[in-house]
A and B are shown apart, each in its own frame.
Chain A
């Protein structure tokens, strides 16, 4: 093995680290403006249209584990390579607190398997401190981002309906698919207790938007990657078209360790370890764009120590890693007796919910700040590992014609009949809410641990507060209200204070943001309002790290819009020769 750092010959205008939503968008916009781009990805190449990667339209029996999640965190057919734990790439936790970190090492990153829920942040979401006095305002407003949301809608495609709700701004929508049967029941029941249910907003092409991508053929498997590019992933919708124009060089298996700087503290390139030969390489560029994910970007910046940046690059404030926050999340499920013995037909639909509940209440009348949205699931989905489990407790929910319950457990024909009768009767709901960013929730460099590439790893410290606990309690009250209104058999116990009211552990919702937040004051933020580092003007961050607060929405659409906005700014700065 060579111990010398090898230098890639080519000098680039821009080096982008990470090929997910933020990095893919930057690669597309910057390269189309004529800039030469090096795109570095820590995992392998991936294209769902190629047979060797295809998991879409596979049957469960094609997997020897029938789709179980023993190898991939979200099951054998999920598109994401990586997971909560990656061999040789650990992270640690501090003071008995918990944070779980999902990483996907592949072209397109986590956009390959996400739920495609594509919600704009609303005017309130950028100015939460003005609303409730907690946390901080963003240095930008909805009006600054709106033109970019509009462009993202048209470039990528999102279905939805115009509803005119102030903090759930409408966009350029494709028509939504009609609700499924259980969704009609949910809509009726929730509406009757004054909880709104509207068409969901997912980046799935119910109609064609260009010649390159086809439209959805309703297999409900967006998380497996789409062969016809009928949904959004960074690899298919951004990186691939960007590369076809010839200005982007993709480096796969490139694990970036640090940004290197010149004597004036300006970024001049990055060092990465090639995972295939374990050698170190240097890529030089006039500007560096970090899009490695909120936490991985914080890690790279903290590891980028130099004489000029002794505390990590652009970190004299010490803010990098702080204000890490994830969405809140908790779930409940039930069984709809009216759906026992239901007629069979194909109701796969699009990948995920056709309807959802946006936040509908006024926090001034509640004992917690910030809202949540509700996602619904159920229906006659494709059986996968786990189907048919639990008949030792569930059979008794079925009654015969005289009202006598089936016995739990058992075997034989009676068991088979009952499994068939129950198929498609289960429903569930998941609340996804906004937490309050805290300085004391953070990731930092672990002083004792490196990964297999010799790079110091992250150590997490994260605790929920009463704000999130009370919000989760409210979610469960709402779930029971909806399930009761549905006439559902509610499964399991309502979680209480001993489990933080069922709150998922921090990180589990995979909406973590805020580690390199933007702001006008360099003492309390890492980036300016264009996501440009306060102390290194040719360094930018276009992942969720720049978020001041994560709304009760999913972050991807905002990452895409902000990355486009920052890319336009970079192009402008190049033109003005400021960088």
Chain B
């Protein structure tokens, strides 16, 4: 194979599968934390992203917790209503009560709600797909997804979809926005998790960091799915810097690199600034008693 040949690129779905097979990341240092709560939270997280039925043994394998600890905690979580238990299979899954765990506060008036009309307008204008995403470990989780109402593009990205962080334009933009020491730590994690592809990945990330410095956005050319290009920018909200990203993805023949850089990049940045000012207006002022 000649050196210049395009190397096969992993598709989103393959990467998703790979991500799911990967062992759970090491839990954060437990210093100053409440251990039983930390473990309970890890068990709840073991059911994401699909809420499949899991036995205590399977949960133990996913969380790296001792089996007796897992059975004790699944019993407690079932008693509290956050897990349901199937007597016929001896397996657990999340119960509807997990929606009371902060979800409704999230689902209400916040950046997601504010972003929706702005993203929808762009999706319609460009007849493609736009996304608001935030980081979860090595994935960018889609919080809002707007498809063009003309419905010509059918990328399989929905709310809750996970894009592999270092291959997504939004993930790269997030790395670009990090403070140097923070980025250093993230890159170490990436190199450990993507050992096999690290050489290529490093080149990709270095180029993306240079692009971010120069322009404030990152573009990706067929990194997640062949035939699809993407672009991402970071949204900074007061008190929660670089927690959210905005992205646009579309077919590479309609969104070649030059068009993304010249036309779409400035548009996406403008939407990001607009969103930042809207969020800032809603934030309670520091020191305000209520």
Instruction: Answer whether A and B are interacting partners.
Output: no
Taking Cβ atoms with an 8 Å cutoff, the residues of A that contact B are: none
Taking Cβ atoms with an 8 Å cutoff, the residues of B that contact A are: none
